Structure 1
Amino acid sequence: MHTRASNTITIHRRASSPASRRQRGVALVVALVLLVVITLVGLAAIRGTLLQNKMAANLYDRQVAFQAAEAGMRAAMAKLASDQTIARECDQASGGGLCYANPFNDPNLPAGKIINVTTGNDPTQFDAGALAAGQPQYVVEHLGTGVGSGGQQQNATCNSYGAPCVPQQNGSKYYRITVRSAPPDEIGNRSVVFLQTMVKLGS
């Protein structure tokens, strides 16, 4: 009877030293710190990009509103040249009262004196288009009548010393036009631009 010897393989495991375990722990901590730093840098870059996009969008929106307000100013001047009855009376000598610097902030401003610029091709009209927040509005105010000096080449007034002038019999009427690019209560968070100018009608 033959007995077959079995081959036995013995595996000797080498126990890791405490120093090697500490090295692996330090490497893991360093890797985690680097991962956190890279994540923070990425988030900062994303935040900066989003902020730049918002700034560019706000600037573009304001430019569109500014162009709409300018067009509204031209329409208001064209309308005033043909119809002075649209003006609100701010001349105390004519029975008017004191008017706000911005008439849109005046709680006593009659609603009918806020004029909407209609769409069309007439000089008194303007189409703001789809990019604008809305149609511009304006308020015209009559500030009074003033008597100036005669002559187109004369720079001095009649009150200046030695100014040879002939007082005008019919004084010029002075108007103030205030325009806003769109009604603020209808456009949400879109930009609103206000423009104001003085207009003299008459000789």
Structure 2
Amino acid sequence: MKRNRKKQTVAMGCPARQRGMALFVSLILLVVVTLVGLAGMRGTILQERMAGGAYDRETGFQAAEAALMLAAQDFTSNPSTWDNEIAANASDLDCSNKSCASNPSGQIANARWKSVTSGTSASEFTAIDSSNPPQYVVQLLGDCSSTGAGGGFTGTTDQNEGGPGGSQLNNQGTCYRITARALDPTASVNADRAQVLLQATYRM
């Protein structure tokens, strides 16, 4: 006996198209998270740079202050030595013609700057970077004598006289300017360092 088998055809429907909304939202969220992370990283780096700059400036100020004090000690103890130095390098150190820049750092030859001696004695200073010590220079400002008087003193051409007990105030002398800097700004290793400059004027 033969059996007739009918072939049955099953119609297969086309698969529904996938909608990409979930993928799109995921990409947007990924971009947002990335931007937030980059912003936070940038803020952290900026804070670190600010903290580093503040620390560098503070240490530079301390170094320049120490150099200024030691320079004053050196100058007042050996004024003739500096007078000879000024006479030998008048173009850099003689400002009696009022032609010198207010900020001599970078204007005076590096050979004129004297580095602070490293050590622990009263005339020495131990810098954080011993290969890059603070420096100072002394310049002649010229005669700074004044005449007349004030504050109840009786003035003469060379001194102010008067006051209780016959006190006297000498107002004649020659002025010198001491400039101290924390580091040499012309050195390539100091390109990104804080530049700290301190000055003091002395009348001898």
Fold-level similarity (TM above 0.5)? yes
Deviation (angstroms), 1:159: 5.3
Counterpart residue identity of residue 196, structure 1:
Q
SS of residue in 2 equivalent to 1:134: coil
Match of 2:113 in 1: 114
For the 8 Å contact 2:148–2:155, the answer to whether it is kept is: yes
Match of 1:141 in 2: 139
Match of 1:31 in 2: 26
SS of residue in 2 equivalent to 1:184: coil
Match of 1:48 in 2: 43
Deviation (angstroms), 1:168: 2.9
Identity of aligned residues (%): 38
SS of residue in 2 equivalent to 1:140: strand
RMSD between superposed Cα atoms in Å? 3.0
Q: Aligned equivalents of 2:179 and 2:21: distance in 1?
A: 70
For the 8 Å contact 2:149–2:155, the answer to whether it is kept is: no
Q: Aligned equivalents of 1:114 and 1:167: distance in 2?
A: 36
Q: How does the TM-score come out when normalised to structure 1?
A: 0.71
For the 8 Å contact 2:106–2:185, the answer to whether it is kept is: no
Distance 1:168 1:63, change over 3 A: same
Q: Deviations over 1:20-58 (max 9, x none)?
A: x33xx1122111111111111111111111111111111
Q: Aligned equivalents of 1:39 and 1:182: distance in 2?
A: 41
Structure 1 residue ranges (4+ consecutive) displaced by more than 6 angstroms after TM superposition = 12-15
For the 8 Å contact 2:118–2:125, the answer to whether it is kept is: yes
Unaligned runs of 5+ in 2: 1-10, 87-92, 160-169
Unaligned runs of 5+ in 1: 1-11, 149-156
Q: How does the TM-score come out when normalised to structure 2?
A: 0.70
Match of 2:201 in 1: 198
Counterpart residue identity of residue 186, structure 2:
D
Give the number of equivalent residue pairs: 172
- The answer to whether structure 1 residue 158 and structure 2 residue 148 are counterparts is yes
For the 8 Å contact 1:133–1:182, the answer to whether it is kept is: no
Deviation (angstroms), 1:160: 5.2
Counterpart residue identity of residue 60, structure 2:
A
Distance 1:112 1:27, change over 3 A: closer
Aligned pairs (5 A) from 1:2-41: 17=16, 21-22=18-19, 25-41=20-36
